[in-house]
Amino acid sequence: MQQLAGNQYVITLDDDPMVSRIIEKSLSLRSLAFATTTEFSARIPTAEPLAVFVDIHLANDQSGLDIVPQLRARWPYCPIIVITADPADEWLVDAFHKGADDFLLKPIKPREVQARFQTRLAHLQDRAAKSALMAGDVSLDTAHRVVTGPIGRQFLAPVETLLLAQLIKAKGTVVPKETLKREAWGPVRVSDNAFYRKLFELRRALEGVSNSVKIQSVYGAGLSLDVQTSVTPALAAL
Amino acid sequence: MYLDMNVLRGFEELSGPDDDGFLFAEIAEIFEQTTPELLGKLESAIAGGNSETVRQIAHRLKGSAANLGAKKMSELCSAAELTAKLNPLQVTNIDVDPILDSYTKTCAEIALYLTSKNQRKSLPKKEIFSFN
């Protein structure tokens, strides 16, 4: 099993304290245990778990599934594994719709916990790596639609994210306007006016995060992403 | 047999020579600490004809028993849960005695098993994970 650093942990939401302990021991990782969705919700903003295990049926007729969409929004690349005692549980389908990645059946088998955790973690880490695009000092997180640079961080609209992603992937080459429209809007016909409006918003967002990455218009050809590499004063003087 | 040896073997696999304790002993202790209260609540809910409470507690007991490997008890709780779900008006007819009996016998088997493994008296103190 992959060795993980000592400060990493998983979270278990289950009204049965045995479950958290079994998971903790199975993974050789600490498990932060919660019995109710209310307790867990209060900790979501500050927690950074490696994985979350959620029991579907909690005490007092609470459903662990109620919190799954919130978990998925907060941690897009964190495995969410639901737990149920019933293999024919009709809620399992609902769990996947709400953002769960996998499930465990009770009785919880340590080897199964290890296998599902490792597989889901590897899969989501791979997805996370693929969703991060870099251009100079700017990084674009396509899953969260966030662009980050040395002077700030901006949230982008879905179309703006797709436009910037295409420009980053083109690595400085000129991308025709029609290609960008097709990649960002799909088969929908878009006016130039709408396209330039989005471009204006995107340029403004980039200005808010970096001084060295800009979108250049090449008349009659399209657009490209211009990444200025920093030049030290000593080199500039040469 | 009230304990499922396949489940017990799963716990044994996790307890190597360098381990800080035998997981089954810890799990059994949690089971023995939490189950009597739940059984009391189940008995009251059955007597009071509260089908929803019976369903919820039977479900919880079913899961705990299954995780420990207490197969017989888990099956009995599953049957009680099903009755409460499908025939709520029949909930007072659920016989709680077999569940109580299976719990007692499960505990006796746990004691025998742990004695055979010489683990009963050597439970490590569980470190509480505090979150900051």
* Selected residue with higher pLDDT from A112 and A144: A112
pLDDT of the residue at A146: 86
Q: Are A50 and A73 in contact (CB under 8 A)?
A: no
Q: Does this model's pTM top 0.90? A: no
HEC string for chain B: CCECHHHHHHHHHHCCCCCCCCHHHHHHHHHHHHHHHHHHHHHHHHHHCCHHHHHHHHHHHHHHHHHHCEHHHHHHHHHHHHHHHHCHHHHHHCCCHHHHHHHHHHHHHHHHHHHHHCCCCCCCCCCCCCCC
Count of Cβ atoms closer than 10 Å to residue A126 Cβ: 11
> Which residues of chain B are within 8 Å of residue A26 when distances are taken between CB atoms?
14
The whole-number average pLDDT for the span A152-176 is 91
Q: How many CB pairs under 8 A join A and B?
A: 66
pLDDT of residue A112: 92
Interchain contact, B67 vs A18, CB within 8 Å: yes
**Residue-wise DSSP of A169-195:** HTTTS-B-HHHHHHHHHTTS---HHHH
* Confidence category of residue A5, pLDDT binned at 50, 70, 90: very low
- Ranges of H-type helices in A9-146: 17-27, 37-43, 68-74, 91-97, 110-131
Q: Does the distance separating the beta carbons of B129 and A85 come in below 8 Å?
A: no
d(CA A150, CA A51): 30
* Model pLDDT for residues A97-124, shown as the tens digit of each residue: 899 999 999 889 888 999 999 999 998 8
Contact A32 B129 (CB under 8 A): yes
